Amino acid sequence: MKRIVCFLVCISMVLAIGCNEKTPEKIYQRNWPITDAYKSKDIEKLLIKVNKYFQENMETPTNSWDDAVYHSGNIRAFMHTGVKEFYDYSYGYATKHHFFVNNGANTINGDFYCISQLYIDLYRLTGKDYMLKDVLRNADFNADSRTTFDWVDLLYMSLPVFVDLTHITGDTKYIDDALRAYEKAREIMWDEEDSLWYRDARFVYGGGNPDSVTPSGKKVYWSRGNGWAFSALAKSLEYLDKDHIAYEIFANDLKLMADALKERQRDDGTWNANLDDPEHFGGIETSGTVMFMYGYIVGIRLGILDFDTYFPIVQKIYEGLKKHAISKEGRLLYVQPGSDSPQRYANYHDEDKRREQTRQFAVGVFVMALSELMLLCKDYQKPDINLKEPEYTPFATPKLEEDYYMGKIKAKATKEQTGNTADRIVDKKFDDINGQRWSAQGYPNSVTLEFEEVLDLRKITVVPYFNRTYIYTIEASIDGENYNLIVENDGEMPAMRFIDHEIDTKAKYIRLTVTGCTNYTGDWISINEVLVYVID
């Protein structure tokens, strides 16, 4: 390995955007070490192979954390490669969701505002204020002392959002409140002895929870959980003002973690699902590994991590992933599915299934890490990026009309899930959480609402779970036996939180029948709420 020491590398994105008077900021204009150990075009070739395989074979229908993490990585891959298809993929996704965060509703759950990271980078590329409008709405809500990181995943979902907004707006309220939440989370989930994170309070060693100790008596340090933290720190430090108190705190924790992770790397370059116990769901686990790869590379590029000490770790990761965790078609392998710990590892004991498992969030971080590795290469050249003026008309933020009917409503369904019963569809609670929705598996299924008396209805609002665009009909009846069709929804409407149907009918009963969905491939029907409005 040859190192070429500290050239001034100015990787500035030169963007020609028609009719746009704003000049997007220069990014990645730093001093950092570069190397001739790899050719950037070889890395780019692998990046394109993996990313195109994903885009051609998998989907990202929601704007929740898993799809959002993919897009936050994909857009960074575009910024460093200039592959227009990557931009089109994420820009199309953003417009499909109308640049909404959590469907336009306030949330303190970072899983539901992680998508802000994509919108922020699209704003950096285009300078279009409407891309930030809903990001700022939700961030302002959180920055009023509401920011919380109750589990370690939220560091990645949330922390870069608040750092970026402070960088863009100049208002420190975002990073100030995020730092408060970070320090609170650190008091609970950070292990001072090992400089690693527990996933949440349940896993703190010595706390008495059986999940907090392995069968051999060791600690439970979830690889992906620490990956979320490590990559969050690295991504946040890029745009964080060095004079802000948070910079030293984050940089120090990044260095401590870098040392701790270095000691736990497997011989093949990857990490086990449990960093402290190779016998506890051991073996290649890719999602944590790619997050560590990203964190090390960015830490080196920012001058926080020493090149000579840590670049060999990066090389070991890169070579190990190429050899063991990428199929000839470009599928990223050995990804632990959605979980909260090493021990909740679907298909772990079936080697063939475990090998083939992949997930969008891991792919997103991997292509982002590869694009960062390109920046360390001596032969890397910035792409010439020319983007046309976005052809998009901003969609009005969905508003809930507050004067919905408050009388007693009975609800009965053809099928219902335990805990998500029919009566939850009229409980006046709209959050996308368990216990506040009607759910039923399989199409078709229906739910019938019965009012205390015949009502003159002027509007019905359906609040679908996670912005799903269900295909459904709504029928009205006076006697509960003879129904007339009043709404026929084909599922082709924009994905949004509140779906309004203007009507003019009398009814004592209405029946909602769901027959499919256009942006969700599963077979579960989940509706948070149905609201009715009466003529005054």
> Each residue of 138-172: pLDDT tens digit?
999 999 999 999 999 999 999 999 999 999 999 99
Confidence band for 103, pLDDT divided at 50, 70 and 90:
confident
| pLDDT, position 536 | 84
Residue 404 to residues 182, 412, 474: CA-CA distances in angstroms? Answer: 39, 20, 17
Per-residue DSSP letters for 249-288? HHHHHHHHHHHHHHTT--TTS-B-SBTT-TTSS-S-BHHH
> Above 90 in pLDDT, residue 286?
yes
Topology, domain 38-385: Glycosyltransferase (1.50.10)
Nearest to 441 by CA among 413, 468, 479: 413
Which of 460, 375, 468 shows the shortest CA–CA distance to 409? 460
* pLDDT for the residue 3: 55
Amino acid at 241: D
pLDDT over threshold 50, residue 379 = yes
Name the more confident of 19 and 81. Answer: 81
Question: Token digits for 456?
Answer: 């003159």
CB 454 within 8 A of CB 508: yes
Give the predicted TM-score (pTM) of the model.
0.79
> Which two three-digit tokens encode residue 68?
């959002």
pLDDT on residue 396: 66
Three-class SS state of 322:
helix
Calculate ∠ Cα 233-236-242, nearest 5°: 105
Let me know: does 11 contact 27? Beta carbons within 8 Å.
yes
Task: Give the contacts of 299 (CB within 8 A, at least 6 positions apart).
Answer: 234, 237, 254, 255, 258, 305, 310
User: Do the beta carbons of residue 127 and residue 24 sit within 8 Å?
Assistant: yes
Measured CA to CA in angstroms, residue 445 lies from 116, 155, 235, 292 at distances of: 34, 39, 44, 45
Residues in Cβ contact with 222 at an 8 Å cutoff, skipping those fewer than 6 apart: 152, 198, 199, 203, 273, 274, 275, 288, 339, 340, 341, 342
Residues 188 and 227: their CA atoms lie apart, in Å, by 18
Asked whether the bond before 444 is cis by omega within 30 degrees of 0, the reply is yes
Using 50, 70 and 90 to split pLDDT, how confident is the model at 104?
A: confident
What tens digit of pLDDT does each residue of 407-440 get?
999 999 999 999 999 999 999 998 777 889 999 9
At 389, the pLDDT band (50, 70, 90 cuts) reads: confident
- Could you give phi then psi for residue 534, rounded to 5 degrees? -110, 155
Are the beta carbons of 302 and 242 closer than 8 angstroms?
A: no
For the chain, the average pLDDT equals: 92
Distances (CA, A) of 427 to 280, 301, 407, 410: 43, 52, 11, 10
The conformational region for residue 480 under phi > 0 = left, psi -120 to 50 = alpha, else beta, is left
pLDDT > 90? residue 466: no
Domains 38-385 and 409-534 in one fold? no
**Using 50, 70 and 90 to split pLDDT, how confident is the model at 70?**
very high
Report helix angle 153-169 to 130-143, nearest 10. Answer: 110
CATH 2.60.120.260 fits 409-534, yes or no: yes
> Rounded distance, CA 26 to CA 74, Å?
19
Question: What does the pLDDT read at residue 492?
Answer: 82
- 3-state secondary structure at position 20: coil
Strand 15-17 to 385-387 pairing: parallel
Nearest to 61 by CA among 508, 500, 491: 491
At 22 the pLDDT is: 33
Burial class from Cβ neighbours inside 10 Å (0-12, 13-18, 19+) for residue 310 reads buried
With beta carbons less than 8 A apart as the criterion, state whether 286 and 357 touch: no
Going by C-beta distance under 8 Å and a sequence separation of 6 or more, which residues neighbour residue 308?
A: 3
Domain positions in the chain: 38-385, 409-534
Residue showing tokens 């996308």: 432
Q: Could you give the CA distance from residue 321 to residue 510 in angstroms, rounded to a whole number?
A: 55
Distance CA 321, CA 380 (A): 22
Task: Return the SS3 of 340.
Answer: coil
Residues 6+ apart with CB under 8 A from 195: 253, 256, 257, 259, 260
Q: In this model, does residue 368 exceed pLDDT 90?
A: yes
pLDDT at residue 7 in the model: 40
pLDDT digits (tens, 9 = 90+) for 170-214: 999 999 999 999 999 999 999 999 999 999 999 999 988 898 999
Q: Find the mean pLDDT for residues 250-262.
A: 99
Lowest mean pLDDT: which of 19-23, 66-70, 467-471, 495-499? 19-23
Q: How would residue 42 be classed by pLDDT, with cut points 50, 70 and 90?
A: very high
* pLDDT for position 431: 77
For 334, counting Cβ atoms within 10 Å of its Cβ (0-12 exposed, 13-18 middle, 19+ buried), the class is buried
